[in-house]
Amino acid sequence: MEPTLITSRQNPRVKAAAALLDAKERKKTGLFLLEGARLCADAAENGVAVETLLVTPRAAEGYAPYYEAVRAAAEETFFIDETVAEKLSDTAASQHFFCVCRKRETPLAIDPAGFYLITDRVQNPDNLGALSRSAEAFGAAGLIVCGGCDIYSPKALRASMGALLRFPVYREADAAGVVETLTGRGMRVFAALLSDTARDVRAVSLTGGGALVIGNEGAGVSDAVAAKCTDHVIIPMAGRAESLNAAAAGAVLLWELWGRRSTIN
Amino acid sequence: MEPTLITSRQNPRVKAAAALLDAKERKKTGLFLLEGARLCADAAENGVAVETLLVTPRAAEGYAPYYEAVRAAAEETFFIDETVAEKLSDTAASQHFFCVCRKRETPLAIDPAGFYLITDRVQNPDNLGALSRSAEAFGAAGLIVCGGCDIYSPKALRASMGALLRFPVYREADAAGVVETLTGRGMRVFAALLSDTARDVRAVSLTGGGALVIGNEGAGVSDAVAAKCTDHVIIPMAGRAESLNAAAAGAVLLWELWGRRSTIN
């Protein structure tokens, strides 16, 4: 049976979905809005609860394999017209393919032999998304997001290319507490610090599990968190550069501490 | 003598400066607009021709050392009020400190013993900015930008934290031609490719100078450019990750091919 077609921007389901572009509404409802055929399929394939699929008939045809997968997972599916799609869209070139999903709350489960990325108030959604891609690509066991940008913001989800949906992601309020939990299990936790006392990352040799903390773009890792870490590391820099972009620094440190020596390939 | 105060958004200098937020106007005039005290000072200190400094009296006081440095370099200086500053601003929290500068056209000069980053149609200004920071930090000899995003876009300049002003940056139309120039001087040029035939970057050992090509976010390095490169490299990835963010991949490859083994520190 064909899904019902919604043509009004005032339709209650459409209004509720569009409201999720706002962080406050996401917080209140526990729901979030995903845009893009591939991202919606990533959600469906990874056990994210899909409440509503909203798609233009043309997008359903154009992205047929994704459409079938998401429709099978969704509680309900509606066709929408292009005016409605533009109301829901947060992008310049929309695929007209959306779903409303339920946020996951996964209790923190640590594998002491794994490697984790901990973000301490990383604010920029593009950075958070890029960091989650790097963590997944370099074989990290999970990402622990402490404060900062909402992982369910449309920008962060897009920048993650689905990693925030595929990959174990935990949200914790207290970064210092998370670091204590890990060190209490015998793991080394590395704070990325722009400090003279931090060790050159090339001199570090990690055996067993561990974690890396990347701090806020402006303020870095907070003192309280750094104090709980077992190691402070820095990437040596040449020239007049004073720092790297947070996502670039995170990628290099994840690579150097874990990905480079892990058994990938 | 105190600079003249401009209070009208219709002032011709203000209108001309605000027009530079548009890429077409930058192309037509050969000028660009910089925002932020530190960025303006980076321009002045690095020989960028500063035509006009536009700053609120309050910002001039608050950023006095930067103000003095930029004023000394600027052909003319005007005070502006906050309404005018908001018209010029491209940011959420403006410092009310701007200058109109002249673009540089630096003819390509290659040091065969150095390492270069070549961008092949990198589109996202945040990525281009982050890549320039990484290239500077890892001791590259210069950045060669071929197509893609305008290096004088306000976003790219901000994301570069001044690296695009401090660091040797060349704009060239023909990436394949640039690669040929470098290989013709005996340099190895590495294309970052997501291909089964690309070599694991960990297996590469570079002696002497070289270059890395980072491609467009969606399309990667173009076939015509890749065909001219001496090497194709890939960063091994685990899990279901299919790629990294372009700036993250660039940072890791710059680090692995050059920064990691160079004499920094």
8 Å CB contact between B148 and B128: yes
Taking the C-alpha atoms of residue B157 and residue B46, their distance in angstroms, rounded to an integer, is: 14
Percent of chain A with pLDDT over 70: 99
Could you tell me which chain A residue has the CA closest to the CA of B245? A130
Nearest CA in chain B to A260: B202
Q: What angle do CA B190, B191, B196 make, to 5 degrees?
A: 110
Secondary structure tally for chain A: helices H, strands E: 12, 12
Integer Cα distance of B131 and B134 in angstroms = 5
User: Would you list the DSSP string of B173-234?
Assistant: S-HHHHHHHHHHTT-EEEEE--STTSEEGGG----S-EEEEEEBTTTBS-HHHHHH-SEEEE
Instruction: For chain A, say whether B264 makes contact (Cβ under 8 Å).
Output: yes
- pTM equals 0.93
What is residue B264's predicted lDDT score, i.e. its pLDDT? Answer: 55
Q: What are phi and psi of B216, to 5 degrees?
A: -55, 145
Beta carbons of B247 and A242 less than 8 Å apart: no
- Which amino acid type is present at position B187? M
The Cα of A127 is separated from the nearest Cα of chain B by a number of Å equal to 10
Calculate the average pLDDT of chain B: 94
B249 at interface of A, judged by CB pairs closer than 8 A: yes
How far is B13 from chain A, CA to nearest CA, in Å? 32
User: What percentage of chain B has pLDDT greater than the value 70?
Assistant: 99
pLDDT per position as a tens digit, B85-136: 999 998 888 999 999 999 998 899 999 999 999 999 999 999 999 999 999 9
Is residue A243 within 8 Å of residue A249, measured between CB atoms?
Answer: yes
User: Which tens digits make up the pLDDT trace of B190-247?
Assistant: 999 999 889 999 999 898 899 999 999 999 999 999 999 999 999 999 877 789 999 9
What CATH number does the domain located at A5-102 have?
Answer: 3.30.1330.30
| Residue range A115-259 in CATH 3.40.1280.10 | yes
Distance separating alpha carbons of residues A149 and A249, to the nearest angstrom = 18
Partner A contacted by B204 (CB < 8 A)? no
Specify the domain boundaries for CATH 3.40.1280.10 within chain A: 115-259
Q: Is A137 on the interface with B (CB under 8 A)?
A: yes
The predicted-structure confidence for A109-143, as pLDDT tens digits, reads as follows 999 999 999 999 999 999 999 999 999 999 999 99
CATH 3.30.1330.30 domain locations along chain A: 5-102
Contacts of A247 in chain B (CB under 8 A): 130, 245, 247-248
Residue B241 to residue A137, Cβ atoms within 8 A: yes
**What does the pLDDT look like over A15-66, one tens digit per residue?**
999 999 999 999 999 999 999 999 999 999 999 999 999 999 999 999 999 9
Chain A closest CA to B234's CA: distance in Å?
Answer: 11
**Mean of all residue pLDDT scores within chain A:** 94
